[in-house]
Structure 1
Amino acid sequence: MESAEWNEDKNYLSIATAGSPQELKARRTACQTVLLAQLNVVPIEEWMTRVNAMHDSIAKAAVIICEAQMKEAGYGPPPCAYSFIVFGSAGRQEATLWSDQDNGLIVEGEPDGLKKSYFRAFGAMLSDLFEQVGYEKCSGKVMCSEPLWCKTLTEWREQLQSWMDQLEWEPIRYLIISSDMRHVAGNAELSAEWREAFHAGFIGNEKLSTAVLRNTVRHKATLNLLGQVLTERFGDYAGGFDVKYGVYIPLVNIVRHLSLFEGVWDSSTLKRLEVLGALDKYQHLEDIRRSFLTALRMRANTPYSVNDGLLSSSDYIAESDLKNKQLMSELRESLLLVRRLHRALQRQLRSAERRQS
């Protein structure tokens, strides 16, 4: 792979032509081998682009295979247009080689019995297919097999509005998950209409922005009073550091909050930072970008295990790796930035709550 474009001409990368879950899994495994060899050889943002291009190719192929399986099962072809969408790290194009499922479906038009029965079966079959290919099912059940994440466009609009109206922790959490939505397969127009409905709800809605900020400032301490990195004290990862929730997710959350506030439609953290930078309103964006790339690199390099050709990781930096002075220096610098930004957002939240009380 000479560029970020996924080269499907080479046999081991020809994911699009896979005809079965088994074949798709084999081609994924072959691609992972190539990608692992490139880790720390190409810049981390380039490497992540390649990894996520692989995931997108797999998802597109899985949708085609699933449609064929539905016909074989007697359901026939899809009764209408639909869109397969992703959330979470996949939505942000930041998925690792071991990321699990975070996806959904947007179905064209008004709900009816035929659509409901077809796409309920399709969503369940597609989620199972992804599991066969090596994507674990989401513990939070953000999957196309779940009614909450598989709806007609009409139902989706009603759902988004309901979450925006409630302003409570759980509906706002769902809204935050939704904000990272990205179209992958099917009818792109449906995804565009969905995104338009989503962002329309934020225009001039200060209470909604404050509710999102309230969720954003939840963050576990990663530095002690002396500015030293806090590692896990007990359990399987004692002595290690949770790079996902300690530094990566806090940075994602901060950038997402600013983006929603400014009406930025991009879902990728790096693209969001680019658009925010063009506004020339915010300090520290270059520091955030540098720390974010550090977090991506650290997360991609956490220890992993291989089972049947597929990777899994705890997202913890091992205790032995933390003895590396360069790594520890970079980590501490990123965490100091997170703490500084987090405190600024807490002050912003207190000010917003006073205005709205």
Structure 2
Amino acid sequence: MENFSLEMVRSEIANAGHVEQLRQFRDQLHEEFEGRLLLSHSLDWNKQLNQVHDLFIARAVQLAQHSLQQDQGLEAPVAFAFVLFGSGGRQEQTLWSDQDNGLIYEDSNDPELAAKSDVYFTALAERISDLLLRLGYPPCSGEVICTNEKWRNSWSGYRSMLYEWLSDPHWEHMRYLLIFADMRLIYGEQSLPGRLTDEMLHYCKQHPVMLEHLLHNTLHHKISLGLFGQLIKERYGEDAGGVDIKYGAYIPIVNGIRLLSVEAGIRETSTDARIAALMEGGWVEEEIAQDWLEALSIALKLRSLTPFQLEDGYYTTRGKLPADRLTKERTSELKLALRIGNELQKFVKKSVQKEMEKG
């Protein structure tokens, strides 16, 4: 960044004593990143932006802990991990991403300590979520958030939930499993989410039929490209003539790469790192992997160009690139990304079919 080095950003965030300082600084950085989007390579821009999101979110966790200690004299009774899912887990948050997060804490055989843990982490989750709201991160519409007891649980509680999904692989459980696959530590004890990820990947390796169940969810969102190579555009409403970048381009690409990564036992969560690991592991040829990276880069850039708005203090977007921003150059770029995305979905389907035939 031209006006802000990452070291300076890290220092400013670490030294912020209250959320109002953080929010003011986030708004400044929002303008800085918005201005530099078209002047940077989209993958580099995205990486810098997500490093900053990580710093803001981790600081919110620290401030929440501090406020509990100051107000009620409470401290964490056991180790815990604050994790991100969704685009945050993939290190692909936009300028306006919402809260997709969870809280995992260590088990205790002592009933009194277990009760203290439940009380403390319930209170901590509320404070973290409130701070993130005040920082401009809206709540997850699907309630994948630490204030939901499903996503605020002990390690054994998370493990039980994981095996419930794995043993009964209907649509909703597979949706949760794919959310889980993007889990990434943002603050706290790395071994807590790490051991859960290891168990999920090991189970899928031992039971390749899981890949077939996950495939249906993975291919649910179709590429926004018609039979004759034309863009599929929004037909009605204020987005008429525009294109749904999030669900018509970006999500199909990241979904496909994620399933290939689960199949390969890859622990990386960002899509570009997953592509690199797939290539290094011999799962895909370099030329195809480079095509996937190009499609991802285009999708990330165009997704970040969709209009956003402030609603009740939150940054939000509908994820649609309007007709007046579909220049000839952007249309050409988007069609390229969509053609690669189409081929990727075919690749994923064939890869899963081969795995099923083997085992």
TM-score of the pair, normalised by structure 2: 0.91
1:123-180 deviation line (CA, Å, top 9, x unaligned): 1221121111110000000111111111111111111111111111111110100100
How far is the alpha carbon of 1:210 from its aligned partner?
A: 1.4
Task: Give the distance between the partners of 1:344 and 1:3, measured in 2 at CA.
Answer: 42
How far is the alpha carbon of 1:350 from its aligned partner?
A: 6.7
Identify the residue that residue 86 of structure 1 maps to in structure 2: 84
Task: Give the distance between the partners of 2:137 and 2:68, measured in 1 at CA.
Answer: 20
1:337 partnered with 2:350: no
1:261-293 deviation line (CA, Å, top 9, x unaligned): 000000000000001011233242211111110
Q: Spell out the pairing of 1:1-357 with structure 2 (5 A cutoff).
A: 1=1, 6-8=6-8, 14-74=12-72, 76-110=74-108, 112-220=114-222, 222-283=224-285, 284-306=288-310, 311-322=315-326, 324-346=327-349
**Bigger mean CA offset, 78-87 vs 299-308:** 299-308
Q: Is contact 1:233–1:239 with CA below 8 Å preserved after alignment?
A: yes
Would you say how many aligned residue pairs link Structure 1 and Structure 2?
Answer: 353
Say if 1:89 and 1:266 are closer, same or farther in 2 by CA, change over 3 A.
same
Q: Is contact 1:106–1:153 with CA below 8 Å preserved after alignment?
A: yes
How far is the alpha carbon of 1:306 from its aligned partner?
A: 4.4
Say if 1:75 and 1:209 are closer, same or farther in 2 by CA, change over 3 A.
farther
Q: Is contact 1:87–1:180 with CA below 8 Å preserved after alignment?
A: yes
Task: Give the distance between the partners of 2:98 and 2:125, measured in 1 at CA.
Answer: 16
Say if 1:270 and 1:309 are closer, same or farther in 2 by CA, change over 3 A.
same
The SS at the match of 2:200 is: helix
Q: Which has the higher contact order (CA 8 A, sep 6+)?
A: 2
Task: Give the distance between the partners of 1:187 and 1:344, measured in 2 at CA.
Answer: 36
**Bigger mean CA offset, 119-128 vs 189-198:** 189-198
How far is the alpha carbon of 1:234 from its aligned partner?
A: 0.7
Q: Which amino acid aligns with 1:144?
A: C
Task: Give the distance between the partners of 2:212 and 2:184, measured in 1 at CA.
Answer: 24
Q: Is contact 2:214–2:259 with CA below 8 Å preserved after alignment?
A: yes
The SS at the match of 1:320 is: helix
Identity percentage of aligned residues: 32
Q: Which amino acid aligns with 1:273?
A: I
Say if 1:259 and 1:224 are closer, same or farther in 2 by CA, change over 3 A.
same
Say if 1:277 and 1:350 are closer, same or farther in 2 by CA, change over 3 A.
closer
Q: Which runs of 5+ in 1 are unaligned?
A: none
Task: Give the distance between the partners of 1:30 and 1:45, measured in 2 at CA.
Answer: 21
Task: Give the distance between the partners of 2:95 and 2:156, measured in 1 at CA.
Answer: 34
Say if 1:83 and 1:343 are closer, same or farther in 2 by CA, change over 3 A.
same
Q: Which amino acid aligns with 2:273?
A: K
Say if 1:77 and 1:255 are closer, same or farther in 2 by CA, change over 3 A.
same
Task: Give the distance between the partners of 1:254 and 1:263, measured in 2 at CA.
Answer: 14
Q: Which amino acid aligns with 1:338?
A: G
Task: Give the distance between the partners of 1:4 and 1:160, measured in 2 at CA.
Answer: 41
Task: Give the distance between the partners of 1:353 and 1:117, measured in 2 at CA.
Answer: 45
The SS at the match of 1:305 is: strand
Q: Is contact 1:85–1:105 with CA below 8 Å preserved after alignment?
A: yes
How far is the alpha carbon of 1:26 from its aligned partner?
A: 1.1
**Bigger mean CA offset, 32-41 vs 303-312:** 303-312
Q: Is contact 1:210–1:352 with CA below 8 Å preserved after alignment?
A: no
Q: Which runs of 5+ in 2 are unaligned?
A: none
The SS at the match of 1:236 is: helix
How far is the alpha carbon of 1:224 from its aligned partner?
A: 2.1
Q: Is contact 1:110–1:154 with CA below 8 Å preserved after alignment?
A: no
Task: Give the distance between the partners of 1:95 and 1:315, measured in 2 at CA.
Answer: 13
1:19-52 deviation line (CA, Å, top 9, x unaligned): 1121211121122222223212221111111111
How far is the alpha carbon of 1:205 from its aligned partner?
A: 1.5
TM-score of the pair, normalised by structure 1: 0.92
